[in-house]
Amino acid sequence: MSKSLADQFLKLGLADKKQVQKDKNEKRKNDKVNRKNRVETDDGESKQAVEQARLAKVAKDRQLNLERQQKAQEKSLVAQVKQIIETTRIHLDDGDVKFNFADRFDNKIKSIYVSAQIQVDLARGKLAIATFENRFFVVPQAVAAKIMERSTTSILFLADPQAAQPDDDDPYKDYVIPDDLMW
* Segment 56-67, tens digit of pLDDT: 999 999 999 999
Same domain, 102 and 118: yes
* pTM, two decimal places: 0.56
129: Cβ–Cβ under 8 A, 6 or more apart, which residues? Answer: 101, 112, 122, 136, 137, 138, 139, 155, 156, 157, 158
* Mean pLDDT value across the chain: 82
Section 21-27 average pLDDT: 89
The answer to whether position 33 is within a domain reads: yes
The answer to whether position 176 is within a domain reads: no
Total domains, the chain: 2
The answer to whether position 7 is within a domain reads: no
- Domain residues for the domain of 105 are 90-164
> What is the residue type of 69?
Q
The last residue of one of the domains, among 88, 107, 138, is 88
Q: What is the pLDDT of residue 45?
A: 75
